[in-house]
Amino acid sequence: NKDGSLSAEITFSNDLYDGDRIEYGSNGQVTMHEIWVAGKREGLQTHYNAQGVASVVEYRNDRPVYASK
């Protein structure tokens, strides 16, 4: 961010997302966390709203297979 605060952490391998991808809001709280394997989403993707309530989507081979309500 312009103020020097961390806005995202992303792990790469061979120029592909590979590992945790975490995004942060302006308040420093995690707003999104997902897992990538060789450029494809794999496992849980969790989004947090301003109140900290999580919504979850599960991915297998970069395709959603489950979403919380």
pLDDT range class, residue 4, cuts 50, 70, 90: confident
Q: How much is the pLDDT for 5?
A: 79
pLDDT of res. 1: 66
Q: What is the pLDDT of residues 13-41, one digit of tens each?
A: 999 999 999 999 988 899 999 999 999 99
What CA–CA distance (Å, rounded) separates 34 from 24?
A: 12
Q: What is the DSSP letter of 13?
A: E
Euclidean distance between CA atoms 56 and 69, whole angstroms: 8
The Cα 27–Cα 65 span in angstroms is 31
